[in-house]
Amino acid sequence: MEHLWAPWRNAYVTSNDIKSKETLFHDLGQSTNDEENFVFFRSKSVYAILNRFPYNASHSLVVPYRSVSDLRDLSQSELQDLWNTVNQVTTLIEKAFNPHGFNVGINIGASSGAGIPHHLHVHVVPRWKDDANFMTATAEVRVHPSELKEIYQKLTAIRDSQEPSP
């Protein structure tokens, strides 16, 4: 048996601050501790957060503040804000990490794979040519070259250096 050591994950795994799965996104949206929670972008009706269990470095979630389970439950202005934020998040990630492409998607309902089916969220996953390396192909293990804190700091620095939106 092979072992992959990741001691930096211990603080998260043993934390007493792990939110209830049912209210996780609501609680994160209402929190003011963005750095601790890795919330790197906020708009009127949605926020963007780094996925703590990423597929790739800077894998992000765009989440409505309001708890809805389906796109059809969002108002027109919330829907527009959601997709505008997805565009802004992909732009930030492009500037920070130069991916070759993105997977953008939503799992609606538990049977589609939604881990938190009662709170809709959009996954923004950057992709690089040949990012399915030998570890993924042979050992079913993902290797992430950067810590979430470093990714958060890079994204927020780029966000803060941009001109404000009109």
From 26, 119, 121, 123, the catalytic residue: 121
- Concatenating the DSSP letter of every residue in the chain gives ------GGGHHHHT-TTPPPTTTHHHHHHH-S-HHHHTEEEE-SSEEEEE-SS-SSTT-EEEEESS--SSGGGS-HHHHHHHHHHHHHHHHHHHHHH--SEEEEE---SGGGT-SSTTS--EEEEEE-TT-S-HHHHHH-----SS-HHHHHHHHHHHHHHSPPP-
Query: Do the Cβ atoms of 64 and 82 come closer than 8 Å?
Result: yes
Query: Do the Cβ atoms of 118 and 70 come closer than 8 Å?
Result: no
Which tokens hold the place of 156?
């927020």
Q: Which among 126, 106, 130, 110 has a CA at the least distance from the CA of 118? A: 110
Residue 118 is among the residues annotated as catalytic for this protein = no
Query: Which residue numbers are catalytic?
Result: 121
